[in-house]
Amino acid sequence: MKIGIVGCAGRMGRMLLKEVSASPETTLVGGIERPGSPATGTDLGLLIGSETIGIGVGDDAAELFAASDTVIDFTTPAATVTHAALAARHGSALIVGTTGMGPDHVAALERAAQKVPVVFAPNMSVGVTLLMALTERVAGLLKDDYDIEILEMHHRFKVDAPSGTALGLGKAAAAGRGIDLDEMATRVRDGLTGPREPGSIGFATLRGGDVVGDHTVIFAAEGERIELTHRASNRAVFAKGALRAALWTRDRAPGLYSMHDVLGL
């Protein structure tokens, strides 16, 4: 499978380059950065501390999509919208791990998914995907006297909050309870907030240091507390999951899929 990477010079981009280059089932056909990036022209092998491979960092997204069976995108919501249109135009499957996606951004993925396979997940980790499935299951089994709180922590450079993964866990908990997350989410608490609203799903956000990603779903009742936790210590878990999703799209029908689909959950 021929795979291209957008945002290839970033932290996640370099992890993706390593995973795709190391896989016997894939061929790395290129990587791009935004026009004017200082990384433009740098050999992709040098970006990951390896030998040169004769492919430099480009800035032509259309050219990359035309050459790729599948493109992996961990960039920004605005860039992902552009990439979704290119995927549909060139017939490339698209793997999206971009966070901070709003309804309009997701709508762009849905349009592309009418023509090509699109896998979109707020977190590509296999472990986090299992955590989401467990969260939905536990939320459905426990009664409303178990309050649900979601705690997440990431590195100081993360720009969106709560994280896409935390919101995904919130949606999983809401699905288990049969409620609408938008109506029941409490995303900020400050000052005199009064008692906790029954049935709400709370979020707490921490930022600092080099934390790759910690997520805990807390089910708290009188007398006991259940906590489901996932901690990522290396971004390679996200890259491995994205590569697994890319390989899964081979000969797949057009549609908008999730990592739950990839894992058969």
DSSP conformational letter for 58: B
4 is in an annotated binding site: no
Closest by Cα among 251, 246, 255, 248 to 29: 246
For 243, the 3-state DSSP assignment is helix
Query: Topology of 126-232 in CATH?
Result: Dihydrodipicolinate Reductase; domain 2 (3.30.360)
Name the token pair of 153. 């922590």
Catalytic residue selected from 154, 171, 230, 240: 154
246 is in an annotated binding site: no
33-85 pLDDT, tens digit per residue, is 999 999 999 999 999 999 999 999 999 999 999 999 999 999 999 999 999 99
172-206 pLDDT, tens digit per residue, is 999 999 999 999 999 999 999 999 999 999 999 99
153 is in an annotated binding site: no
Strand partners, 26: none
77 is in an annotated binding site: no
19 is in an annotated binding site: no
Angle at 133 between CA 241 and CA 103, to 5 degrees: 75
The Cα–Cα gap between 48 and 44 comes to: 7
The Cα–Cα gap between 155 and 160 comes to: 11
158 flagged as catalytic: yes
164 pLDDT higher than 90: no
The Cα–Cα gap between 190 and 92 comes to: 46
The residue whose two tokens read 């949606």 is 171
The Cα–Cα gap between 18 and 53 comes to: 12
Question: Structurally, what CATH architecture does the domain formed by 2-120+235-263 represent?
Answer: 3-Layer(aba) Sandwich (3.40)
Q: What is the pTM of this model?
A: 0.81
Parse the chain into domains and list their residue ranges. Answer: 2-120+235-263, 126-232
155 is in an annotated binding site: yes
Burial of 200 (0-12, 13-18, 19+ CB in 10 A): middle
For 188, the 3-state DSSP assignment is coil
The Cα–Cα gap between 93 and 91 comes to: 7
Average pLDDT score over residue span 14-30: 96
112-155 pLDDT, tens digit per residue, is 999 999 999 978 999 999 999 999 999 999 988 999 999 999 99
The residue whose two tokens read 């592309």 is 112
Catalytic residue selected from 2, 115, 158, 260: 158
The Cα–Cα gap between 134 and 112 comes to: 30
Average pLDDT score over residue span 157-173: 92
154 flagged as catalytic: yes
